[in-house]
Amino acid sequence: MIFDSGTWEMLKTGIWETLYMVGLSSLISYLIGIPLGILLTVTGKDGIRPIPFLQGILGVVINLLRAVPFIILLIMLLPVTKALVGTTVGSVAIIPPLVIAAAPYIARMVESSFREVDAGVIEAAKSMGAGTFQIIWKVLLPEAKPSLLVGAAISITTILGYSAMAGFVGGGGLGAIAINYGYYRYETGVMFLTAAILVIIVQLVQEVMMKLSIKTDRRIR
C-alpha cells in the first residue's frame, strides 16, 4: 500500500469539497450569467430591444472582469468575500470570487448561444405579435438549449479549473490537496492521483453535458 487510509479519507473529502464549490458557484454564476447574456443579446444593435448604450456599458464591465487573472481577482476581492460570507479562508471563501470570475464568462457563452438562434425564427415570432419576454422565453431559450448545454460543459469545467486555486486561500478541494502535497511537500504520488481524479471529473461533466445536448436537440433526426 502506497497510501494509508488517512490519504483516502482526505481525497474523499477533497472530492466532496470540489463538487460543492464547483456546483454551488456554477449554479450562482448561471443565475447571474443567463440574465446578463440575455441582456447582452436583446439590447444589442440588432437585438429585439436595442439599447446600445446599456449594452455598451455591460460589455465593457464584462470584458474588464474577464481580463483580470483569477488569482489576482481572488486577492482583490478579499474584502468583498469577507463581507459576503464572513471569512476569507476555507472552501466557502472561494465561492464569491469564483462567481465573479465565472458569471461574465458565462454571460458571453450564453450570448454566443443566443446569437446562433436563427434570426428568421425570431422574425417569425415577431410577425405573430410576440412580445420581448415571449420571444426570450419561448424562442431564444428553447431554441438555444442544445448550444447552452454545450456552453455549460465548457463553463463548468473552467470553474473546476479555477476552483483548484482555492488552496491558495486555505480552501479545500482536490486542487488544494494537489498544491499542498505536490508543491509544498514534494509528494508527487498524491499530486498525480488528485490530478487524475480532476481529469475524470472534467471528463464526466463534459461527456454527460454533451450527451444531454445531443439527445435533446431536435434538429438531429
Partner 1 sequence: MEQRKPIIRLEHLGKEFPTADGPVKALEDINLDIYSGEIFGIIGLSGAGKSTLVRCINYLEVPTEGDVIFEGVSLKSLNRKGINQMRRSMGMIFQQFNLLSQRTVLKNVCFPMELQKVPKKQAEARARELLELVGLGDREGAYPAQLSGGQKQRVAIARALATNPKVLLCDEATSALDPNTTKSILQLLKEINGKMGVTIIVITHEMGVIEAICDRVAIIDSSHIAEAGNVSDIFSGPKSAIGRQLIMGNTVHAEFGHSKLVRIIFDGRASKEPVLANLILACKAPVNIMYAATSDVNGTAMGQMIIQLPDEEGEEKRIMNYLATAGILHEEVTEHDF
Cell 470540489, located at residue: 18
CB of 130 vs partner 1, minimal distance in Å: 5
Residue 1 or 221 having the CB closest to partner 1: 221
Task: Using alpha carbons, list the distances in angstroms from residue 151 to 30, 101, 171.
Answer: 11, 16, 27
Residue spans of alpha helices (H) in 5-68? 5-42, 52-67
Residue 139 or 174 having the CB closest to partner 1: 139
Part in contact with partner 1 (CB under 8 A); list of ranges 6-14, 33-41, 117-125, 150-158? 117-125
Contact 112, 103 (CB under 8 A): no
CB of 112 vs partner 1, minimal distance in Å: 18
Contact flag: residue 214 with partner 1 (CB under 8 A):
no
Helix axes 95-115, 141-163, angle to 10 degrees: 150
x/- contact string, 129-148, with partner 1 (CB under 8 A)?
xxx--x---xx--xx-xx--
Residue 18 or 43 having the CB closest to partner 1: 43
Please tell me the total number of residues recorded for the chain in this structure: 221
CA–CA dist 133, 156 (Å, integer): 27
The C-alpha cell of 143 is what? 431554441
Out of 1, 2, 67, 128, name the contact with partner 1 by CB under 8 A.
128
CA angle in degrees (0–180, nearest 5) for 103-106-108: 115
Part in contact with partner 1 (CB under 8 A); list of ranges 32-40, 75-83, 93-101, 125-133? 125-133
Taking CB under 8 A as the criterion, which residues in 79-98 touch partner 1?
A: none
Residue 27 or 214 having the CB closest to partner 1: 214
